[in-house]
Amino acid sequence: MAEKQLQNAPYFESVNKVSYNKGANNALAFKYYNPDEMIGDKTMKQHLRFSVAYWHTFTADGTDPFGAATMERPWDRFTGMDLAKARVEAAFELFEKLDVPFFAFHDRDIAPEGRTLRETNQNLDTIINMIKEYMDTSNVNLLWNTANMFTHPRFVHGAATSCNANVFAFAAAQVKKGLDTAKELGAENYVFWGGREGYETLLNTDLKLELDNLARFMHMAVDYAKEIGFTGQFLIEPKPKEPTKHQYDTDAATTIAFLKQYGLDNHFKLNLEANHATLAGHTFEHELRVARVHGLLGSVDANQGDTLLGWDTDEFPTDIYSTTLAMYEILKNGGLGSGGLNFDAKVRRASFEPVDLIEAHIAGMDAFARGLKVAHKIIEDKVFDNVIDDRYRSYKEGIGLEIVEGRANFHSLEQYIIDKEAIKNESGRQERLKSILNQYILEV
Amino acid sequence: MAEKQLQNAPYFESVNKVSYNKGANNALAFKYYNPDEMIGDKTMKQHLRFSVAYWHTFTADGTDPFGAATMERPWDRFTGMDLAKARVEAAFELFEKLDVPFFAFHDRDIAPEGRTLRETNQNLDTIINMIKEYMDTSNVNLLWNTANMFTHPRFVHGAATSCNANVFAFAAAQVKKGLDTAKELGAENYVFWGGREGYETLLNTDLKLELDNLARFMHMAVDYAKEIGFTGQFLIEPKPKEPTKHQYDTDAATTIAFLKQYGLDNHFKLNLEANHATLAGHTFEHELRVARVHGLLGSVDANQGDTLLGWDTDEFPTDIYSTTLAMYEILKNGGLGSGGLNFDAKVRRASFEPVDLIEAHIAGMDAFARGLKVAHKIIEDKVFDNVIDDRYRSYKEGIGLEIVEGRANFHSLEQYIIDKEAIKNESGRQERLKSILNQYILEV
Amino acid sequence: MAEKQLQNAPYFESVNKVSYNKGANNALAFKYYNPDEMIGDKTMKQHLRFSVAYWHTFTADGTDPFGAATMERPWDRFTGMDLAKARVEAAFELFEKLDVPFFAFHDRDIAPEGRTLRETNQNLDTIINMIKEYMDTSNVNLLWNTANMFTHPRFVHGAATSCNANVFAFAAAQVKKGLDTAKELGAENYVFWGGREGYETLLNTDLKLELDNLARFMHMAVDYAKEIGFTGQFLIEPKPKEPTKHQYDTDAATTIAFLKQYGLDNHFKLNLEANHATLAGHTFEHELRVARVHGLLGSVDANQGDTLLGWDTDEFPTDIYSTTLAMYEILKNGGLGSGGLNFDAKVRRASFEPVDLIEAHIAGMDAFARGLKVAHKIIEDKVFDNVIDDRYRSYKEGIGLEIVEGRANFHSLEQYIIDKEAIKNESGRQERLKSILNQYILEV
Amino acid sequence: MAEKQLQNAPYFESVNKVSYNKGANNALAFKYYNPDEMIGDKTMKQHLRFSVAYWHTFTADGTDPFGAATMERPWDRFTGMDLAKARVEAAFELFEKLDVPFFAFHDRDIAPEGRTLRETNQNLDTIINMIKEYMDTSNVNLLWNTANMFTHPRFVHGAATSCNANVFAFAAAQVKKGLDTAKELGAENYVFWGGREGYETLLNTDLKLELDNLARFMHMAVDYAKEIGFTGQFLIEPKPKEPTKHQYDTDAATTIAFLKQYGLDNHFKLNLEANHATLAGHTFEHELRVARVHGLLGSVDANQGDTLLGWDTDEFPTDIYSTTLAMYEILKNGGLGSGGLNFDAKVRRASFEPVDLIEAHIAGMDAFARGLKVAHKIIEDKVFDNVIDDRYRSYKEGIGLEIVEGRANFHSLEQYIIDKEAIKNESGRQERLKSILNQYILEV
């Protein structure tokens, strides 16, 4: 059988299973990620729920707007369905060597398109079966799958928001298959990222119809999931722009608004990406906080951007400030539930050797492991909790309590304040707090 | 009487009433704004509803973060309440010379603060009475007033979102007075711009409490307006940042979400500013469109930013592309209702002579007048309407109609598309549309 | 012969030769570009020296970082060298239909690479011969050619600035061939754009060696051009970033500094692109002005960016403000000499039909034609010249003249000013000037 | 005597001399800055050469574009010259409590202006004498002084680049006094930051004359310094924009170009600021590297910006990545010579209590101390040196050596490469390098 013929593993021949070895001068060891170490009442592995992104790691080739493929991938000696199979082999080899519990994919990452959707789905089925076999004999689970509805030229004007009803229909059929796949593989979530659900110019755009259609599409997805008994969490991933001029799911606040307006907020949570946050002008922790306070923080695309560049660089996350503040929000959220930390990150185009894939994941996993420990300790020590309790204490008594409990109005407040000569504020102490954050990051 | 003693008008001695004179090589004539010219079924003046911003034009002194006041203002020979009165005189002189029908102010623009709010309100009352007299004998009306809850140090941590309940109380009393003022002067709207309603760092911020308090505050305002019978429109003005790191009313979509979440959307519309749009990464026309399709486009702060600079430059609007596309949205909205085009714009710090104030308003009024004419003609000729009708025609029949009417689902759509070999799209024609826009702008 | 077999022209069947027809409601007519119309002492065609960019128009396929090719190109039914030949046919058909006098190309636009550089050069020779024949029987000339040293993976770390000396050698040999080509085809200029001449991270970069090598490379090019008698102008094109994190030729000022430091400023001028200017945080007119005052304004890549997006969108130029201010600098420079206005612009990915290529060029040509007329009239009327003469008049006499003529020093200046009580400045009048600019744009 | 009457110290009553106490849970102790600890062959204090910025710490009041002063400063109970004197007292108290060896000031920070420059200089002299006395009895030295030529309205159009020759004269006289002051107080450097040396709009600007005048001005300064025997280092500080639309000394590369073009590069080095780097689209370490490889790295304005905000936030530096990479460049430069790390940083407007000033400096000093230790260890271990040596090894032999030694040309390089089938590159290993950087930062 083809599978047997493809048994060309290992693809990462020079790499053994990566283990924790703190002080090591060894690029192929974890320095901070110690999977079984308890942090509070869970292990690091349980907290972090790492996931490998199939597209960046097994499908991407290093192409950029000015350059051709650079990536050297041992599986690239195959083509067509053989290539698709070889990638599965390579993927599970990498999952195992990194000991990551999850992975995620778009439909088109794992199998090539055919002439019709029917043929495409047949290709998919072959690979899904193969993946299922691998999953059955490993500890790796599917964090989420999604439908790529932005690469093929048919989606040039969008998918659910295309001006062309045939494209809407195609997208619907594609997500239907995606939900079947999710159920088949036991995906914990199903994700929507609307790469071209937006517009290029308002001059030719019926914005209202497009938004309505987007909502119609999502309701159909919810209905179908219910019908087939898929119980995973629906997630929607905001991004403000790129590839489009404007993308409807701009940021957490905008996406939450969309969900509420169209009655979808009981069915969806957010999958938040660091680089998408910065493209929207927000910090990553801001987006996580907004989702958290709305009870809609679902999952995370773990990466980082370069805030001096204006596009989605999707770098592996190595900034400890960012991983610490992200883990802070996640711990405060009681974890991510069915979500996880999916490395929606790609090695740089110039990091084209296979071993870079391993080293990049180690870099990201270590950065989040350290962030987890720091954040946990900060919470344990009530560092910011105490600051906030003290800072807002005026709302716990007197006029403040009346405000919060709805017993105040403009009359009572005016009467209270109109003859007071001065109001005393207290410093926000931002510099002290940043210094304490440094101390925790460096000393934990 | 003080008023009499202050009769030092004219302050703009060298300027006569500005009139329309198309080809004029005269900086003090309108080239495009012809107030009584009919555009469709309304005059230019009725369409445009221009308003002068009291703060930029009568109060601002040219200070910037690196520089002291530069503005030469004939009224600056006065101080205290005399200065406040002189500004009223100068203001009505300018309104009349420009023949603008509206103006707008913050409470602190028109009168200085006293030791207590009671004293401050007394100062206010003096000037409000004076303004009322001037309004009674002129054709100028109050487009909106608002409360400045960001300049005084008491608002260092915000107003309704302050961590200090006393500040919330002060702000409440201040808006109470603002609503009384609005009723007294017959304001067509009342505006909220939350200059410091946001945060500087999440490390010390209880985001959820602050958002809840902001909503509580607005509900109190709605209740009080009802109580006193103020029937003007409430408006809220989005801005993403500056002066704060993050401002809660980030952009149109975020603000609409906030209004809906807290049940305020029946009481508020949006006051949208061009420069705030670009600071949020959006075009002005995008923000107008978003508000329009939600039925929440209330009024406009007419200015422009410099997209290569990262702060609110509040320039007078002179970009005809922007004024045209703004007027397009406004005309499509059926006008602004009780709203208007308020010049939230300041002369450059280096344009410090009084006559620059006149010339800057002429520049802005001409730019919007031209934009109005162009937009009207584009709509009359159905330029973009025809493009859009044609582009989305697939939703008017067959499978598209089924989608829009809710008769489709993932099964029917899959069946429809699964064996189709190719989907045909049509070009979006952006280049042609931009060329046509140029033709309209240059030839109308 | 292959060429005969390829005679499948016309590729733009539905398009006739585009002619000037001002009021036309016809997307395929020029509204402002009237080639033979005299503007001052030259025709529009002589002033504007339009050039078509081979890569965007005949080679680009609409790929973007998230999407596959969309462009429908009649010549894409061919492959390999046949495709290369078909593109030449299509190119000259389009040049003729648009009546553009120039074109420009990278070596890899016109012919595919072979296994070795020798084979690649043989492919090139075939197409160069074909192009030469077409040029001989048309009025189209080569504005410039250049070497694509950024697409192939060998250039992953740069070309002249690669850490790999073999890559430097390859690049050298490639430019050698490029200069031979330039001489063969009578190119008016030869361009360097260092797409990957920069770095991704300083952590692994020897910045000094890379800059030195870049200069060594350019001196070799100058030497070789002298040797073969190529007398065209060398041009270097600044861009701050993208695809790299940092590109050495950041902007006009930085590139001029590089040229001066390494003694190259007598051999090179600048080829300035609008979108690269905005990516560097500058206006297009700023970059043109900087080059102009240094006597180094060579040529222009005519396009425009979207300042709300952070990447090189390379849109066709339609903003009349930008084309007017660009033409102002160019006219003030006495024209572009051997340079021209090369449309380094691509139709949007969604404008995928062949006719969009024609319409986009018309849009750009019209925008620059209008800009030319407006700028010419502004100069003729001395609008800004008079403003500047008056504004700086204090340097034409007294203490100012002493300063400019080098007769002042800190002693004389202190003595002059130390007891003066106040210095009187005059308004910069920015608002008036912008209003006048509008009047010229709309009324010329 | 007034000085005696002002002896109201301590102004920072609650603060003792700050000492090093690593694990302390005490905001008023250094956690990483241990002044006498040897790092290589120098103490931390000798390496870091910390300087307090007079303006942000003793003069700034917390004003921002939307808000009034918030800062609570014990010395603000004085006015006029008494205030100026009280600030000196407070300054030296703070210098001593933080044990910083340097400070820096603008002329207008330390004394108020009079009616004429003569009067202003008399005010200055009084305070300079007082400062001199304090310096004589302390270990604090003047890192640099400079002239504030941007705040007063006379500089509305610039100083040396003003369109008004009287302003040029005033600025000259002001810098003359500044150089006298520098000599008097033994300043180690004299700085130029051209806050308004740029333009607001090209429409009214003679860019060439302004650049020439700027160079004339600096040559006069060089001449005068020579005349009076001031031997400190001249420094120029780049910034791209703010307050102006465009500032001539945009970034390191542009400023070096200016210095070279006008023959000033032997007299000036650069004073580089982190936040100015990011406003120009560069990393701080990029600017330092550029200056270093040109031998022009003079001094540092130590702060940090917020790359998601578009203005100069001048935050105290707390990002360990930035301080590490900055110290790496500084150590590689062999230190800063006569320069130092000057905290051109301000406490947030909401950090308005005096103790915030102390805590903010501690935060910055600790961040740089840690950065120093990390950078020193990285250099000691040759972490990046080894990477770079290996990466560029091809230039140390064979064809690479020929290139570097000037023995190669296009002929020899073509011959070498033309028949080679493939060029082998090696990964840039960015992810590994970032992970190693994390390890050093966290473990040193």
In tens, the pLDDT along A258-307 reads: 999 999 999 999 999 999 999 999 999 999 999 999 999 999 999 999 99
| Overall pTM > 0.90 | yes
| C1 pLDDT more than 50 | no
Mutation pick from A61, A73, A149, A156 vs chain C, by most beta carbons of C within 10 Å, is A156
Q: Distance between CA atoms of D434 and D444, rounded to whole angstroms?
A: 15
Considering only the C-alpha atoms of chain A, give the largest distance between any 2 of them, rounded to a whole number of Å.
88
Mutation pick from C106, C146, C150, C349 vs chain A, by most beta carbons of A within 10 Å, is C349
Query: What's the gap between Cα D313 and its chain centre?
Result: 14
Q: Distance between CA atoms of D334 and D328, rounded to whole angstroms?
A: 10
Annotated binding residue D301: yes
Calculate how close chain D gets to C266, using CA atoms only, in Å.
14
Asked whether the beta carbons of residue D310 and residue B312 sit closer than 8 angstroms, the reply is no
Which residues of D fall within a CB distance of 8 Å from A351? Answer: 427-431
Residue D341 near residue D49 (C-beta atoms within 8 A): yes
In tens, the pLDDT along C123-159 reads: 999 999 999 999 999 999 999 999 999 999 999 999 9
Selection from A10, A188, A184, A20 nearest residue A92 by Cα: A10
List the pLDDT tens digit at each of the 444 positions of chain B: 344 455 667 999 889 999 999 887 899 999 999 999 999 999 999 999 999 999 999 999 999 999 999 999 999 999 999 999 999 999 999 999 999 999 999 999 999 999 999 999 999 999 999 999 999 999 999 999 999 999 999 999 999 999 999 999 999 999 999 999 999 999 999 999 999 999 999 999 999 999 999 999 999 999 999 999 999 999 999 999 999 999 999 999 999 999 999 999 999 999 999 999 999 999 999 999 999 999 999 999 999 999 999 999 999 999 999 999 999 999 999 999 999 999 999 999 999 999 999 999 999 999 999 999 999 999 999 999 999 999 999 999 999 999 999 999 999 999 999 999 999 999 999 999 999 999 999 999
Which residues of A fall within a CB distance of 8 Å from C68? Answer: 151-153
In DSSP notation, C156-211 reads TT-STT-S-HHHHHHHHHHHHHHHHHHHHHT-SEEEE--TT-EES-GGG--HHHHH
**Residue B212 CB coordination number (10 Å):** 17
Average pLDDT, whole number, for chain D? 96
In DSSP notation, D341-386 reads EEE-----TT--SHHHHHHHHHHHHHHHHHHHHHHHHHHHTTHHHH
In tens, the pLDDT along C50-83 reads: 999 999 999 999 999 999 999 999 999 999 999 9
* Torsion sign (Cα): B162, B167, B171, B173: positive
Selection from B318, B327, B277, B317 nearest residue B437 by Cα: B327
Nearest to D66 among B195, B306, B309 (CB): B195
pLDDT at D39: 98
Asked whether the beta carbons of residue B391 and residue A206 sit closer than 8 angstroms, the reply is yes
pLDDT at A25: 84
pLDDT at B4: 44
Calculate how close chain D gets to B373, using CA atoms only, in Å.
27
Q: Distance between CA atoms of B355 and C183, rounded to whole angstroms?
A: 59
Instruction: Find residue B141's DSSP bridge partners.
Output: B102
Sorting pLDDT into bands at 50, 70 and 90, what band is A24? confident
Which segments of A335-438 are extended strands (E)? 341-343
Mutation pick from C349, C431, C436, C443 vs chain B, by most beta carbons of B within 10 Å, is C431
Selection from D251, D246, D318 nearest residue D288 by Cα: D251
Calculate how close chain C gets to D87, using CA atoms only, in Å.
27
DSSP conformation class of C105: E
Q: Distance between CA atoms of A133 and D305, rounded to whole angstroms?
A: 51
| A81 backbone dihedrals φ, ψ, rounded to 5° | -65, -30
> Chain D residues with CB-CB distance to B under 8 A?
62, 64-70, 150-153, 155-157, 195-196, 200, 241-243, 245, 279, 306, 308-312, 348-350, 352
User: Identity (one letter) of the amino acid at B289?
Assistant: R
Kindly list the partner chains of chain D, i.e. chains with 3 or more CB atom pairs below 8 Å: A, B, C
Give the HSE-up count for residue D228: Cα atoms under 13 Å, Cβ half-sphere: 20
DSSP conformation class of C232: S
- The percent of chain B in helix, strand and coil, each rounded to the nearest 5, is 50, 10, 40
Annotated binding residue A312: yes
Average pLDDT, whole number, for chain B? 96
Q: Distance between CA atoms of C326 and D309, rounded to whole angstroms?
A: 30
Mean pLDDT for the stretch of residues C343-357: 98
**Residue C267 CB coordination number (10 Å):** 17
CA angle C352, C353, C359 (to 5 degrees): 100
pLDDT at B82: 96
pLDDT at D24: 79
Which residues of B fall within a CB distance of 8 Å from C425? Answer: 352
Annotated binding residue D314: yes
Selection from A276, A278, A305, A300 nearest residue A288 by Cα: A300
Which residues of A fall within a CB distance of 8 Å from C196? Answer: 66-67
Q: What b/e string do you get for C40-68 counting C-beta neighbours within 10 Å, with b at 16 or more?
A: eeeebbebbbbbbbbbbbbbbebbbebbb
Kindly list the partner chains of chain C, i.e. chains with 3 or more CB atom pairs below 8 Å: A, B, D
Q: Distance between CA atoms of A438 and A320, rounded to whole angstroms?
A: 10
Asked whether the beta carbons of residue B173 and residue A418 sit closer than 8 angstroms, the reply is yes
pLDDT at C25: 84
Q: Report the DSSP pairing between strands D268-273 and D246-247.
A: unpaired
pLDDT at C231: 97
Q: Distance between CA atoms of A105 and C426, rounded to whole angstroms?
A: 64
In tens, the pLDDT along D52-61 reads: 999 999 999 9
Q: What b/e string do you get for D19-48 counting C-beta neighbours within 10 Å, with b at 16 or more?
A: ebeeeeeebbbbbbbbbeeebeeeebbebb
Considering only the C-alpha atoms of chain C, give the largest distance between any 2 of them, rounded to a whole number of Å.
88
Asked whether the beta carbons of residue D427 and residue A353 sit closer than 8 angstroms, the reply is yes
pLDDT at A23: 80
| A178 pLDDT more than 80 | yes
Q: Which residue of A has its CA nearest to B172?
A: A410
Sorting pLDDT into bands at 50, 70 and 90, what band is A6? low
Nearest to B425 among A157, A241, A421 (CB): A157
CA distances from residue C97 to C29, C33, C81, C93, D319 in whole angstroms, order as listed? 11, 14, 25, 6, 58
Cite the active site residues of B: 106, 109
Average pLDDT, whole number, for chain A? 96
Q: Which run of H or of E encompasses D46?
A: helix D44-48
Which residues of D fall within a CB distance of 8 Å from C406? Answer: 216
| A5 pLDDT more than 60 | no
Instruction: Find residue D235's DSSP bridge partners.
Output: D191, D269
pLDDT at B5: 55
**Residue B269 CB coordination number (10 Å):** 24
Which residues of A fall within a CB distance of 8 Å from C155? Answer: 67
Question: Which residue is listed with tokens 């000196």?
Answer: D88
- SS3 state of residue D273: strand
Q: Which residue of C has its CA nearest to D163?
A: C392
Q: Distance between CA atoms of B302 and B284, rounded to whole angstroms?
A: 10
Selection from A329, A332, A320 nearest residue A438 by Cα: A320
Mean pLDDT for the stretch of residues A376-394: 98
In tens, the pLDDT along A159-175 reads: 999 999 999 999 999 99
pLDDT at A2: 42
pLDDT at D7: 65
| D3 pLDDT more than 60 | no
Residue C197 near residue C141 (C-beta atoms within 8 A): no
Comparing A3-17, B211-225, C428-442, D177-191, which segment has the lowest mean pLDDT? A3-17
- SS3 state of residue D40: coil
The ipTM of this complex is 0.96
Cite the active site residues of D: 106, 109
The angle that helices D252-261 and D284-293 make with each other, rounded to 10 degrees, is 30
User: Identity (one letter) of the amino acid at C8?
Assistant: N
Mean pLDDT for the stretch of residues A212-219: 98
Sorting pLDDT into bands at 50, 70 and 90, what band is A7? low
Kindly list the partner chains of chain A, i.e. chains with 3 or more CB atom pairs below 8 Å: B, C, D
Calculate how close chain C gets to B58, using CA atoms only, in Å.
17
Asked whether the beta carbons of residue D400 and residue C253 sit closer than 8 angstroms, the reply is no
Q: Distance between CA atoms of B269 and B408, rounded to whole angstroms?
A: 35
Calculate how close chain C gets to D117, using CA atoms only, in Å.
5
Q: Residue D374: CB partners within 8 Å, gap ≥ 6? A: D320, D324, D327, D440, D441, D444
In tens, the pLDDT along A52-72 reads: 999 999 999 999 999 999 999
Q: Which run of H or of E encompasses D274?
A: helix D274-279
Calculate how close chain C gets to A350, using CA atoms only, in Å.
6
pLDDT at D427: 98
Average pLDDT, whole number, for chain C? 96
| Pairs of residues, one from chain A and one from chain D, whose beta carbons lie less than 8 Å apart | 127
Q: Distance between CA atoms of B271 and B256, rounded to whole angstroms?
A: 12
Sorting pLDDT into bands at 50, 70 and 90, what band is D1? very low
Query: What's the gap between Cα D167 and its chain centre?
Result: 26
In tens, the pLDDT along D319-351 reads: 999 999 999 999 999 999 999 999 999 999 999
pLDDT at A3: 45
Q: Distance between CA atoms of D194 and D249, rounded to whole angstroms?
A: 7
Q: Distance between CA atoms of D247 and D215, rounded to whole angstroms?
A: 14
Q: Is C76 a catalytic residue?
A: no
| D263 pLDDT more than 70 | yes
Q: Binding site residues of B, as ranges?
A: 237, 273, 276, 301, 312, 314, 344
User: Identity (one letter) of the amino acid at C197?
Assistant: E
Asked whether the beta carbons of residue D211 and residue C293 sit closer than 8 angstroms, the reply is yes
pLDDT at B24: 79
pLDDT at B7: 64
Tokens of A240: 């403000």
DSSP conformation class of A40: T
| D404 pLDDT more than 60 | yes
